[in-house]
Each structure stands twice: as C-alpha cells, then as structure tokens.
Amino acid sequence: MVESKNKGVITLDPTEPVWEQVFMVSPLVLIGTREEGGGFDLAPKHMVMPLSWQNHLGFVCSPRHRTYQNINREKVFTASYLRPAQILEASLAAAPRCGEDDAKPSLAAISQMPAEVVDGVFVENGYLYLECELDRIVDDLGVNSLIISRIVAAHVEEDSLRRDDRDDQDLIHDSPLLAYLHPGRFAAIEMTRSFPFPAGMKK
C-alpha cells in the first residue's frame, strides 16, 4: 500500500485481492444442490447477484467445490436467502466435509423443505427462495467461475413481500435483511431511507 496522489487515499497492491482489504455489503445465500450419491448439499455464498431484469441469477464459485460440480452435473440448484437470526445455519452449512463418505453431517441440524419445480431443497424460515436452471458457466476468473442461471420459480415469505399498502421501511424494520460484510462479519439491516432518484430516471 502506498499513498495516492489524492490526499487521504491509499493505493492498494493490484496483485493482492482488493476484497480482503475493505468491507463490502453482500447477501448471504445458501445454495442447494443434489449430490452425486442422491442427498443434498447446502453451501453459503456471498458473491450472489441478479444478472438482468429478466430473472437471471449468478454467483461466484470455485470448480474445486462440490457446489460447482453438482450444478455442472445436475443443471439445477436452489437459493435460500437467510434472515439475520439464521447466521448459525450459514455457519453449519460452511462446516467441512469429513469421514470416508466425505459427508457434511452438520447439515442435519438445518431445517429444510422441498423445492417445487427443480430437484432440490430450501432452508426453512428464510425470506426468499429461488429455483434455478443452469444457463452457462464462465470459467477461468482466476481460480473461480461465474455460474449463471435462469430463475424458473420464486417464493417469498408473506412478511417479506413488498405491497402497495405497506411502507417499504416498515417492512424492512419488521423483517430485517441479513448482510454479509466480507471478510468475516455480518449485520442486520433494519433502517433504510428512500434513494433520491432524479426525476425521469428509467431502468
């Protein structure tokens, strides 16, 4: 790190990951996939994002991970968006595999429910549940890949659904959002303000 020409600004070493040197706000999502042996895996991901206005979802994953391998084989996955009170479930899903069968026994402590369209499961008591079909995989992003999908079914808990008869801030206050602050912190978003869009702005 060196001082930038701009006062108070530090220039980071571009040969090192920028994302390890600052905090950034992301969702925390459990990606569900079918294992080769027939069971289901759940794995936490924070580099998850909408990729279009037309219901495409993408996330970053490593080809070394079982999540990538399962999706590449099965062509479908689920995404469960967690609430702040479910940070323990996220931690359990991040636990390492063990034993001769390379299993993840910690998943037995996570309440699950079946998906309705694709072959998969969700984590119960989240707020948003997406069922996705693989569209394409973009490899060679360093050691990672971008998995791009089409959302074929979506479900939301009633207390998290935006409605014309309910103020957005009231909804967020009553149903806080979980934010992951990489690396290694999380927060509950309970207070928000309307964004000052300029008049006439369009998507």
Query: Tens digit of pLDDT for each residue in 163-197?
Result: 999 999 999 999 999 999 999 999 999 999 999 99
For residue 134, being part of any structural domain is answered with yes
Instruction: Decide: helix, strand or coil at residue 85.
Output: helix
Print the domain residue range for 37.
23-158
Query: Tens digit of pLDDT for each residue in 120-150?
Result: 999 999 999 999 999 999 999 999 999 999 9
Give the number of domains in the chain.
1
Q: Which distant-in-sequence residues (6+ apart) come within 8 Å of 3 by Cβ?
A: 9, 10, 11
Burial class (CB in 10 A: 0-12, 13-18, 19+), 184: exposed
For residue 7, being part of any structural domain is answered with no
% of the chain surpassing 90 pLDDT: 86
pTM over 0.95: no
Q: What is the pLDDT of residue 1?
A: 64
Per-residue pLDDT band at 96 (split at 50, 70, 90): confident
% of the chain surpassing 70 pLDDT: 99
For residue 169, being part of any structural domain is answered with no
For residue 133, being part of any structural domain is answered with yes
Q: Is the CB of residue 76 less than 8 Å from the CB of residue 118? A: yes
For residue 17, being part of any structural domain is answered with no
For residue 34, being part of any structural domain is answered with yes
For residue 199, being part of any structural domain is answered with no
For residue 172, being part of any structural domain is answered with no
Q: Which helix (H) or strand (E) holds 178?
A: strand 177-182
Q: Which of 45, 13, 80, 61 is nearest to 180 (CA)?
A: 45
**What CATH number should be reported for the domain holding residue 40?**
2.30.110.10
